[in-house]
Amino acid sequence: MEIISNPSQVEIKKAAQALKEGQLVAFPTETVYGLGADATNEKAVSRVYSVKGRPTGHPLIVHISSINRLDKWAVDIPEYALKLANEFWPGPMTLILKRSHLAQNFVTGGQDNVGIRIPSNLVAHEVIKEFEVLGGSGVVAPSANRFGAVSPTSARDVVDELGDSLDPLDLILDDGPSRIGLESTIINCLGATPFILRPGAITVDMVEQVTALDVSNADKNNVVKASGLMDSHYSPKAKIILDQQPKTGDGFLAMSVIPTPVGSIRLASPTTVEEYARGLYSALRLGDKKNLSKIFVILPDEVGLGEAIRDRLLKAAD
Ligand code: TXA
Ligand code: MG
């Protein structure tokens, strides 16, 4: 595989062409790095599953460049979903909508719905747009990590996770560290009111404000599959232990105002929840690089991005 740093417009077109030819292209987004493939190419999509070691049947998110192209992929879109789309796209939000014929079973895991996202990262946006210029419809992109591991927030992470499994014509686009560092908010838009399946940078408050609906009252019977909702996800090799005191030689992660317990190895000192989110996965990876067996984490407060950080850490600690 080839790694391209700060891709030029010519290199972006080359990446779009590679996608069109059925190759995999890992690319940056504002949330985490994704492993991209042509969402209508069954062979390319099946390589995404095998490279990640992800069990088939877990649905993939389709990434597009513009709201104008939404109805290619989704039908019967509720009014509140359009409000969310207009407000938060391009951005760190995925909407689960009723699928069109274009969203085939090998993308949706056989479900009658599809996850759609319009990322705001410029490189992601340009690659998807150029891919559409070449006649492409959408790009599936799960986080570019082995199944169950923490998501990559740099091109280096992608190489560490998947480098051995990619083939010589696959590409990795490097655009520096991810701006947000946590995966998109996933919102189920299949019922009368939206329901958040995976918290992220778009919070419950933001969704309620834009839709004027009570999100916590959503129809929870509208259960859909989301592997990110399963136990034991987002896990480093080290054991994650929450809100307890570490011993000498253990890893430690907390907001900077909390002092480092004597003898522990501090992995990050974020001053805000945004910084906490941005550095969370690289801190967990650092713990693994240092061969720590335990990482003690003090959870942030449940405000703003704090909710998403807590969600990932609670799953990692399971
Ligand atoms: O921020 C993100 O969303 C990143 C970047 C690359 O866009 N992508 C990402 O994809 O996190 P992935 O596949 O690692 O996580 C998406 C989660 C999975 O747990 C998947 O099962 C769930 O979303 N999902 C995808 N489509 C779905 C659908 N139609 N219904 C329910 N869950 C779905
Ligand atoms: Mg993932």
Substitution candidate for ligand 1 out of 150, 183, 185 with most atoms within 8 A of CB: 183
* Residue 61 Cα to ligand 1 middle (Å): 5
* Residue 298 Cα to ligand 1 middle (Å): 27
Q: Which domains does the chain have, with CATH numbers?
A: 2-217 (3.90.870.10), 239-317 (3.40.50.11030)
Confidence (pLDDT) at 235: 86
* Residue 294 Cα to ligand 1 middle (Å): 28
Tens-of-pLDDT digits for all 318 residues of the chain? 999 999 999 999 999 999 999 999 999 999 999 999 999 999 999 999 999 999 988 999 999 999 999 999 999 999 999 999 999 999 999 999 999 999 999 999 999 999 999 999 999 999 999 999 999 999 999 999 999 899 999 999 999 999 999 999 999 999 999 999 999 999 999 999 999 999 999 999 999 999 999 986 444 444 544 544 544 477 889 999 999 999 999 999 999 999 999 999 999 999 999 999 999 999 999 999 999 999 999 999 999 999 999 999 999 998
Query: Which numbered atom of ligand 1 lies nearest the CA of 99?
Result: 29
Tokens 């740093």 belong to 5
Substitution candidate for ligand 1 out of 27, 186, 197 with most atoms within 8 A of CB: 186
Tell which residue, 295, 290, 286, 301, has the closest CA to residue 317: 295
Query: Which numbered atom of ligand 1 lies nearest the CA of 94?
Result: 3
Confidence (pLDDT) at 228: 47
DSSP letter at 318? -
Confidence (pLDDT) at 183: 97
Confidence (pLDDT) at 103: 98
What span, in angstroms and rounded, lies between the C-alpha atoms of 68 and 71?
7
Confidence (pLDDT) at 21: 98
Tell which residue, 284, 193, 190, 274, has the closest CA to residue 236: 284
Neighbouring residues of the ion ligand 2, judged by CB less than 5 Å: 143
Confidence (pLDDT) at 222: 46
Could you count the other beta carbons within 10 Å of the beta carbon of residue 82?
15
Which residues are within 8 A (CB) of 242 and not within 5 positions of it... i.e. 6 or more apart?
296, 297, 298, 299, 313, 314, 317
Strand (E) positions, 58-148? Answer: 61-63, 74-75, 93-99, 113-117, 139-140
Confidence (pLDDT) at 227: 47
* Residue 183 Cα to ligand 1 middle (Å): 8
* Residue 77 Cα to ligand 2 middle (Å): 25
Residues within a 6 A CB radius of ligand 1:
29, 31-32, 34, 58-61, 94, 96, 108, 111, 113-115, 117, 119, 141-143, 183-184, 186, 224-228
**What is the number of the ligand closest to the CA of 182?**
1
Q: What's the start-to-end Cα distance of the chain, in Å?
A: 35
Which residues are within 8 A (CB) of 23 and not within 5 positions of it... i.e. 6 or more apart?
44, 167, 169, 170, 171
**What is the number of the ligand closest to the CA of 151?**
2
